[in-house]
């Protein structure tokens, strides 16, 4: 190889290097843009248990439970990450009155993880009662977290089962996606929304429960307990317009 050819080779390699670097830079710019394109990537909306059995006509109906669904649909536009939870029990679930003969509905029984309410059978795997209400818009949801599918443990929270330590996987998903603020809507305010909000706050997410997008089943002092928890764990409760 003569000197000239040698220098030509060096120059073409340098040019190729620059080209490759430009390509790499362009690529990383592009991925950055994709991130920025998401109009809101630090917030998540968790829609809790908007299922037929928690709506009028269902076996564990929340009064007017179906009336909040249009509000839940309206607020979805503010979020890129929308997650649904779905109560999903086997027919022989230990919380069901049908599996606790002689025990009164809504009374308490002792389980290894603490007190358990005796519920009417509800959200049985594969049944109509377990399906999302037909008016709920589920198209934008990225994932569905099912809970309560182990016979001997109930699961109110979207994050943990009622032993307070068995994960559903939701915390991992939100942490991996770098979510900082968690907004919660759905049914019922005093059980699954309550427990989901407390766990969210304990996990370090700034937590918001959206007033116009939730309602309680209201057993004894369950609503009062819920608002006490919100105060204790600094959970924000108010209209979406106050937070977004």
* Residues making contact with Zn ion (CB under 5 A): 87, 148
Element (H, E) at 187: strand 181-187
Q: Which residue in the list 43, 49, 53, 87 is annotated as catalytic?
A: 49
State the minimum distance, in angstroms, from the CB of residue 62 to Zn ion. Answer: 12
Closer Cβ to Zn ion, 69 or 129, answer by number: 129
Q: Which residue in the list 43, 66, 87, 147 is annotated as catalytic?
A: 147
49 among known catalytic residues: yes
Rg of the chain over all Cα atoms, to the nearest angstrom: 24
Residue 47, both tokens: 């829609």
Element (H, E) at 106: none
Where do we find the tokens 């519920």? 119
110 among known catalytic residues: no
38 among known catalytic residues: no
Name the binder of 192 from Zn ion, ligand VGL, none, CB < 5-8 A by kind.
ligand VGL
Name the binder of 66 from ligand VGL, Zn ion, none, CB < 5-8 A by kind.
none
Closer Cβ to ligand VGL, 77 or 103, answer by number: 103
Which residues sit opposite 209 in a β-bridge? 184, 237
Q: How many CB atoms lie within 10 A of CB 74?
A: 13
Binding site for ligand VGL (CB under 6 A): 49, 54, 87, 119, 156, 187-188, 191-192
Closer Cβ to ligand VGL, 87 or 199, answer by number: 87
Q: Is the peptide bond before 188 cis (omega within 30 degrees of 0)?
A: yes
Where do we find the tokens 């029990």? 89
CA distance 207 to 197: 7
Q: Which residue in the list 43, 190, 192, 199 is annotated as catalytic?
A: 192
State the minimum distance, in angstroms, from the CB of residue 195 to Zn ion. Answer: 11
Overall size of the chain counted in residues: 244
Name the binder of 191 from Zn ion, ligand VGL, none, CB < 5-8 A by kind.
ligand VGL
Residue 187, both tokens: 């049914």
Q: Helix, strand or coil for residue 98?
A: helix
Name the binder of 188 from Zn ion, ligand VGL, none, CB < 5-8 A by kind.
ligand VGL
Closer Cβ to ligand VGL, 46 or 188, answer by number: 188
Residue 9, both tokens: 């080779």
Catalytic residues: 49, 147, 192
């Amino acid at each position: 190889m003569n000197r000239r050819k040698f220098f030509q080779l060096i120059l073409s390699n340098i040019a190729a290097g620059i080209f490759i670097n430009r390509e790499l830079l362009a690529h990383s710019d592009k991925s950055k843009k994709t991130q920025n394109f998401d109009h809101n990537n630090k917030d998540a909306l968790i829609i809790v248990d908007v299922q037929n059995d928690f709506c009028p006509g269902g076996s564990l109906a929340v009064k007017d439970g179906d009336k909040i669904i249009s509000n839940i649909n309206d607020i979805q536009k503010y979020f890129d990450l929308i997650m649904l939870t779905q109560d999903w029990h086997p027919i022989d679930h230990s919380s069901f009155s049908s599996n606790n003969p002689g025990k009164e509905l809504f009374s308490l029984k002792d389980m290894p993880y603490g007190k358990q309410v005796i519920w009417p059978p509800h959200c049985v795997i594969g049944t109509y009662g377990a399906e999302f209400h037909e008016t709920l818009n589920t198209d934008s949801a990225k994932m569905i977290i099912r809970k309560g599918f182990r016979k001997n443990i109930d699961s109110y929270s979207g994050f943990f089962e009622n032993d307070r330590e068995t994960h559903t996987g939701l915390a991992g998903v939100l942490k991996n996606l770098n979510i900082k603020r968690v907004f919660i809507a759905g049914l019922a305010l005093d059980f699954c929304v309550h427990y989901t909000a407390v766990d969210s706050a304990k996990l370090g997410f700034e937590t918001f429960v959206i007033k116009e997008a939730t309602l309680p089943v209201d057993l004894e002092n369950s609503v009062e307990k819920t608002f006490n928890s919100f105060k204790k764990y600094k959970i924000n409760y108010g209209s979406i317009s106050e937070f977004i």
